[in-house]
Amino acid sequence: MTRKADSDLTPDRIRDALRTPVLGRRLEWRQEAPSTNGVALELAQSDAPHGTLIVADHQTAGRGRLGRVWHSPPGCNLYWSLVLRPPSPSADSTHYVSWIPLVTGVAIARALHALGLARVSLKWPNDIQLQERKAGGVLCERTGLRTGNSAVVVGVGINVNSDPATFPEEFRDHTTSLATEAGAPFDRSRLLGEILAQLEDRLETMAGERHEDVVEEYRELCSTLRRQVRVHIVGGETLEGRADSIGIDGALRLIPNDATPSQGSEPIVIHAGDVVHVR
Ligand code: BTN
């Protein structure tokens, strides 16, 4: 789980592993970057095409959801971002955009299944989990809404070959890596190629007539559903209850534990939050 002299993640190896006609056809490689999402947001403003891929071996200021830091040591993990230009504005493209982070989680889970890791699940909205420990996450950021140069940047961090014992103490108990769970290292370029193939396939499905197929696939992989959970709602309160369903809008429907009889069991719709599985 140390840095290899002959790295498994180089621009040439990534190109060899790509089988996608669109995603990753423009590749921006950085040995080190503050944040691949930051690079992608800049490139999106300078007309980077749909599917532009930015990959770094090391991030010095990796960003997580809700303003957190994403621990991004060199030589062992995957840190990458894609510039996506959604189909033209319409009611359907609103669904498309809100589902990009969830669909990315589905693509990662399916790629890991294809590479032999069976017990992968998604904690809503898009934590990649193995045995209830986090192995990866997705951070989506939008840009260009006012300039008409609209893009979604989808950023993915996966703990591939790192040793969780080297993680900052506050993450150690609930973090893992793919190699730890599989008992063997993964080839990062191959894994990236597999994820992008799965993602391109599902983005096409989302943009077409079969949006509901991907929603159903997400629901099957989501370990939050039907669980007792605690949710810290972004900019709001903390609630406990039963995770009832995921709507077509990607939002979580929670039946709170303290719902009074007069409130009935009307679910609360949560668009952004942080979930803890209580049991
Ligand atoms: C999360 O908090 O679960 C989301 C983590 C997303 C991290 C990735 S690493 C590549 C990309 N660049 C960033 O700065 N963040 C995302």
- pLDDT tens for each residue of the chain, 279 residues long: 544 458 999 999 999 999 999 999 999 999 999 999 999 999 999 989 999 999 999 999 999 998 999 999 999 999 999 999 977 655 446 677 888 999 999 999 999 999 999 899 999 999 999 999 999 999 999 998 888 888 999 999 999 999 999 988 888 889 999 999 999 999 999 999 999 999 999 999 888 778 888 889 999 999 999 999 999 988 889 999 999 999 888 899 999 998 766 666 689 999 999 999 997
- Residues 148-164 as b/e (b if ≥16 CB within 10 A, e otherwise) read eebbbbbbbbbbbbbeb
Which residue in the block uniquely carries the two structure tokens 């209830």? 132
Is 68 touching ligand 1 by the criterion CB < 6 Å? yes
Is 64 touching ligand 1 by the criterion CB < 6 Å? yes
Q: What is the pLDDT of residue 94?
A: 65
Q: Whose CA is nearest to atom 9 of ligand 1?
A: 157
Atom of ligand 1 nearest to the CA of 136: 3
Is 225 touching ligand 1 by the criterion CB < 6 Å? no
Query: In angstroms, rounded to a whole number, what is the distance separating the alpha carbons of residues 34 and 54?
Result: 12
Atom of ligand 1 nearest to the CA of 134: 3
Residue 8 makes CB contacts below 8 A (sequence gap 6+) with: 187, 188, 189, 190
Residue 226 Cα to ligand 1 midpoint, Å, equals 27
Is 123 touching ligand 1 by the criterion CB < 6 Å? no
Is 159 touching ligand 1 by the criterion CB < 6 Å? no
- Residues 201-222 as b/e (b if ≥16 CB within 10 A, e otherwise) read ebbebbeeeebeebbebbeebb
Q: Three-class SS of residue 85?
A: coil
Under 8 Å between Cβ of 200 and 23: yes
Tokens of 110: 């399916």
Query: In angstroms, rounded to a whole number, what is the distance separating the alpha carbons of residues 194 and 215?
Result: 20
Q: Whose CA is nearest to atom 15 of ligand 1?
A: 63
Pocket test for ligand 1, best of 41, 68, 79 (most atoms within 8 A of CB): 79
Q: Whose CA is nearest to atom 16 of ligand 1?
A: 155
Residue 259 Cα to ligand 1 midpoint, Å, equals 35
Residue 138 Cα to ligand 1 midpoint, Å, equals 6
**Helix boundaries (H) for the chain:** 11-17, 36-45, 91-114, 169-172, 178-182, 188-207, 211-221
Q: What is the pLDDT of residue 264?
A: 63
Atom of ligand 1 nearest to the CA of 66: 2
Is 37 touching ligand 1 by the criterion CB < 6 Å? yes
Residue 184 Cα to ligand 1 midpoint, Å, equals 24
Among the listed residues 89, 81, 94, the one whose alpha carbon sits nearest the alpha carbon of residue 211? 94
Residue 184 makes CB contacts below 8 A (sequence gap 6+) with: none
pTM above threshold 0.95: no
